[in-house]
Amino acid sequence: MVTQDSTEKFRGMKQRGEKITALTAYDYPTARLLDESGIDIILVGDSLGMVVLGYQDTTRVTLEEMLHHTRAVARSVKQALLVADMPIHTYETPAQAVETAKRFVDVGAQAVKLEGGVSHVEKIEAITQAGIPFMAHIGMLPQHVREEGGYKVKGRTHSEAEALLSDARAVEKAGAFSVVLEIVVADIAKQITHAVDIPTIGIGSGEHCDGQILVTHDLIGLFPWFTPKFVSPQARVADEIRNAARAFIERTRGSGTAPSGG
């Protein structure tokens, strides 16, 4: 049974100044490796649309795709908190938001996340009142990338900064146990972190958040065709795969024997 108690430790970590760590996973082996590494949170992100399914952005990711990958990840996670992204068009109303959240819980998610602040308070309240832990997401909202014309830094103007602060306070009041700040000006992210009691988890938002999250493919260099500016890959897995494949090709072709004459 999923309860809000499973997320209480993160508020305590914020109070003690302990940084929260979070990474994405979309399959069993990756999730198991991350879980065994001691990561705090594993997110089945709708970023799988790009790094796993080959879509241009997250706007084509379906609920069934997200449930499929969440189910696979859930089979491996023993220690980390497993959070699942609710894809676009699956939380249009509070009732739909709760229905979608319950479907994720049914396949093993321990918490859910959707994009939006003040504008989505009723949906967030409905989810948390249903007893499902909720992670908020404000700042740059990838599901809105097409209407915004790209991935743009948030909080550069006074009005944007005030809106972000309002969003953070609103999701906290609605019951979120944490809030992701995506591509927010570092100083504004710092202000938000001090303004709310729930942990802030940054991605491209500076070092002053209560924790950090990254797409694992970016961290380990597994998606070499695009790497966000704020990421410094810690490995080059794509190069290793290429090298292994080429070695296999060369070994296989080189081991063949010429057919004997008849």
Cα angle: 198, vertex 51, 229; to 5 degrees: 65
b/e 67-102 (16+ beta carbons within 10 angstroms → b): bebbbbbbebbeebbbbbbbbbebbeebeebbebbb
- 172 as an active site residue: the answer is no
In terms of Cα–Cα distance, which of 63, 136, 141, 143 is closest to 106? 63
Q: Residue 60 corresponds to which tokens in the numbers above?
A: 């084509």
Q: Of residues 115, 125, 172, 182, which has the active-site annotation?
A: 182
157: left (phi over 0), alpha (psi -120 to 50) or beta: beta
Provide, for the chain, the percentages of residues in helix, strand and coil under a 3-state DSSP scheme, each rounded to the nearest 5: 45, 15, 40
How many Cα atoms within 13 Å fall on the side-chain side of residue 127?
Answer: 35
| Bridge partners (DSSP) listed for residue 116 | 137
How many CB atoms neighbour CB 173 within 10 A? 13
Q: Which residues are known to be catalytic?
A: 182
